Amino acid sequence: MNTRAIAIQVLSRVRATDAYLNVVLDAQLSETPLEDARDTGLVTELAYGTTRRELTLDYALARYSDRKLAALEDRVLAALRVGAYQLFFTRVPRRAAVAETVEALKELGLSRATGFVNAILRKLSALEALPLPDPGDKVQHLAVRESHPEWLVRRWLRHFGRERCEAMLKADNEPAPLTLRVNTAKTTREALLAQLREAGLAAEPTRFSPVGLTLPAAGHVEDLFGYDEGLWQVQDEAAQLVGVYGALPDGARVLDACAAPGGKACHLAERLTVVATDVHAHKLRKIDAEARRLGLTERLTARQHDATQPPPEAWGGFHAALVDAPCSGLGTLRRHPELRYRRKEEDIGRLAALQTRILEATQEAVPPGGLLVYAVCTTEPQEGPDQVELFLRSHPEWTAEPPVLPAEVQVPLWQSYLRTLPGPEGMDGFFAARLRRLY
């Protein structure tokens, strides 16, 4: 199957099933393995790039299609988007972009649609640039140009201003680097950095996280040096900073109330005892598997539990808790580009209400003098600082307390909280608060 056909299959499955792009892509590449790594790279670029630029591409395609895009068969619409993406966002020669996309449709048994797709792509190939809305309507213009829903552009303009909003939009359309967190229970960053470079990998230390390394995007991470030995775990730098910022004391027994997929739980378990919970039993298997690979099973226990309820007394006491709460995920759109089209503005209030319930239940497990770290992978104030301020106003026994970190460790702070935003810093958007129970 040619690379365009595979990309079309991936995108049509994502649209039909509402599945995560990375999950569908991995499954498709397993079903249809490609011998040349360059072909795998092209499929990945077409799948992710087309998804990131979907609104931009659709704005152009709608001008030349006599049929409503939403009414098209999934694979036909995916082919149009893949073809248009090649025309305007890759170096593929325009004639080849059209011809190869049409050929992919034939390979998929959709010869009946080739005339329709060919005609639209040929019209687009004659354009010097993609059509865009009038810049006078800055919200619509930015939404189409950077392929984000208008409601989200409007919120980011209001919360962060024009300059930072544009930087965030652009960052979401850039491929994310492969970022690793060193397993300090087994090695050091310096030692792993030297070993990766010796293996021929262009590894670099992360700017803020003292335990992070970045590498150029790779194929299968399982093939990289140190995976089988459990020397590292894939985790964005901003997510790593949650564990660094939390600065939980050595020897603490910690409740991770919303642990899946387990990155932060494993980070804590490198030096602490962790009970990691999730409401879904199947997600606990992933946490267990990672704990075994990293050699952390003696310090990490995974248990099924609904975090909107206090943990059972039979679990024993805790010194601290981490609430990595379910959220809108608006800080991770470069890694999960399909999420920007699925998330609705009303989801934010619904998720904020769930976060409040989880905070209320989890804080009961923390004794006087103990710490609670609240974290979300979103840019939305309602889920971050506003949520924490509401909690503190209703709980005078709690206070925000920033960590005391070594001088060489600098984390991005905002009003004593950890906050990262998509942009030139190269991280996902995260917020975290470190709270101390006074009595």
Q: What is the pLDDT of residues 300-324, one digit of tens each?
A: 999 999 999 999 999 999 999 999 9
Residues 215 and 241 in one domain: no
209 within a domain of the structure (yes/no): yes
- For residue 25, the model assigns a pLDDT of 96
How much is the mean pLDDT over the chain? 96
pLDDT bucket at 35, cuts 50 / 70 / 90: confident
Residues 405 and 267 in one domain: yes
Range of the domain at 19: 3-125
CATH number of the domain where residue 320 is located? 3.40.50.150
132 within a domain of the structure (yes/no): no
Active site residue 266: no
Q: Annotated catalytic residue: which of 258, 266, 327, 377?
A: 377
Residues 357 and 318 in one domain: yes
Flag whether pLDDT at 217 surpasses 90.
Answer: no
**How far apart are alpha carbons 238 and 260 in whole angstroms?**
17
Residues 271 and 352 in one domain: yes
Residue 110: partners with Cβ closer than 8 Å, 6 or more residues away: 73, 75, 76, 79
Closest CA to 311 of 350, 272, 279: 279
- For residue 409, the model assigns a pLDDT of 95
Residues 209 and 263 in one domain: no
Residues 200 and 272 in one domain: no
Residues 116 and 252 in one domain: no
- Minimum mean pLDDT among 140-144, 219-223, 407-411: which range? 219-223
**How far apart are alpha carbons 52 and 341 in whole angstroms?**
10
**How far apart are alpha carbons 433 and 370 in whole angstroms?**
14
Q: What is the CA radius of gyration of the chain?
A: 23
Counting Cα atoms < 13 Å in the Cβ hemisphere of 144 gives 16
115 within a domain of the structure (yes/no): yes
47 within a domain of the structure (yes/no): yes
395 within a domain of the structure (yes/no): yes
Residues 210 and 279 in one domain: no
Residues 247 and 107 in one domain: no
Helices and strands of the chain, counted as H and E runs = 16, 13
Residues 90 and 211 in one domain: no
Residues 33 and 91 in one domain: yes
225 within a domain of the structure (yes/no): no
Q: Over the stretch 169-216, which tens digit does the pLDDT of each residue have?
A: 999 999 999 999 999 999 999 999 999 999 999 999 999 999 999 998
Closest CA to 330 of 321, 318, 319, 343: 343
